[in-house]
Structure 1
């Protein structure tokens, strides 16, 4: 068996394997950088000066630098480009900038993704060097000043995200919820207001993430108005819990959107209003409602629930009977989407992980830093979100197709029944 001598004088095969992995990572990165530069130069081969000389050529390599990766520190020598073209608007020389490895980059994107997680988990700036050095094999790019710069960059990224244009993003379904990660925000009763949507192509996407006070109408209205101002259209359906502030704000800002109450929150609220002895039966009765095959069976299950529990616990039953239309709105949308539309689980599942990462005692420094780090964690999770089932039906919903009990009954380009009768 092959073995090598480690720095501490011991021998082992682990260091050899680590070296092989790092060498493989170095070669792959070097090859990618060379290919990127070659493509850049090839695309501009026709750019020449008056003497016929090319304006964009290779110019050796930059100095070596160490980049922290999951495989350990990798030493790379990025190729250099001499670009003599001039920007006519500014009069400055144009510069080649690698999209694979930026000039300032000292960590791979995967390593940078871990940093907000560790910081939210309570690791202070001064602890990053000894903690990550053992994992990565190098402390390059992990100084306290670097972490501080990262938090500032996260805040800038969040600010840019909150100011982006939404006119090109058509959100057909929207989930809205106020979550309470255990980080220090601006006020004692602050929470994070989250909007998550489904685009017309079926992809889920974070729409907005901002600080709010007690999920109040004013806080929700401010966030929704900002989305409207940036070009967001009325969604077809908004899914949320029973917080009245959201629904009042929606009526004001997006009056065309239909409302769907979250059945997970509704079930929890109803069960909490009943004695323990009645809770198992009531939970099964509620499941019969939202798992019914169509709206008629669901309404019958509501009547059965009313008859079984209204006499003894009228307050619990009224939580259901007073909001029948909002609880059963999902039956007017494709059956393939019901599992997504009955609950705010797309937000809950994402932020359950964020909440686990934010159990710190002293907060995250400032409200802006805390919100920015929650944003970065959510942004990282977004890359792993699954598209909605039957994504092709989302565009039909936006186009005005009519669904009854989950089945398509009229396409937007077909004449209505009244027109056919005429």
Structure 2
């Protein structure tokens, strides 16, 4: 299936009508699809860039994973933006199934695209087959999956014998979603069960063990806090125990934990003040009966970062939601989900993302005729304001674009109940996700 060029790739060069990936090898103005420029691949790993568009990764990204990568616990290619993946999956022969075998010959040393170089002064790169190519050469194509991870779990894996050399991105992290890109060319093989991570210094190269020390892994007792892992490493050295490689702060309250090490677990001493997460409720005054719905209303409405919890935590996001409401903007984080504003009653609405479904003819849980506005989440949030209030603060109607929608509603005061900070809230479920409920609760404030 043909895919439109992603907006992030609008400035990328084309070859044969296709976007040239940022990490692709180029020579003499010719792109070499399927071959990575080693320097650019390394830059993408370390600077957290998308391999297709070359831009910075955001909150979530996809890793391209084969069964062999699962066994090694490492994705050997740079990551991809969620919005860039469909284009790559549609047009890359190895990902869309058009290529049934890996190439039999490595990229040549004389010319990386296999053509004779006519420029005697050109420093053609010397290319020799690496271990990965030697193992794959001429073999049937593997099964490929895309694994979505949160970028706070993005961790590079070094070569065991050469820690300064990066070999890929760790797969030993929480996986938010998997997507099958293609099956193996020879047989349809299920993805192998990921082996349990070995608890030693070899499998955890970033945790060196001093001479005379031992490293053990213990369950993490969070005392109501929420962390990205359920166990931590404990270093026993000279009769003293030290917590290693532990979370820096709670994903809900942003509190830095104080540890208590026992024989069987590592406990957080202080309980989380928000064991059930945070539900944030604010009000928006809409005297004009017209609201502007979009993702980003900066610089007309902007919050101050100073003195707030980390925005990646539930508390930090709740503080921003309240701060924006105090200056007249209903704001809420929704990730890269592109939700919509849906009417659920005469004066009630939701900010929601419909369920994912492979059946295009199935009954939608959020009918399209109830959608009043679609939100393009470049900012990963929704922003809603009374149109006249926005204009009074300097908003320019002439600056509005296709991603901005003005919706007519009953004038009044509206209550927004935002749910993304609640414990157990899952924005990545295949079911419909409701980020906020909106209800008219009274007359407009003068």
- In the superposition, the TM-score normalised over structure 2's length comes to 0.21
More strand by share: 2
RCO higher in structure (CA 8 A, sep ≥6): 1
Q: Which has the higher helix share?
A: 1
Q: TM-score, normalised by structure 1?
A: 0.22
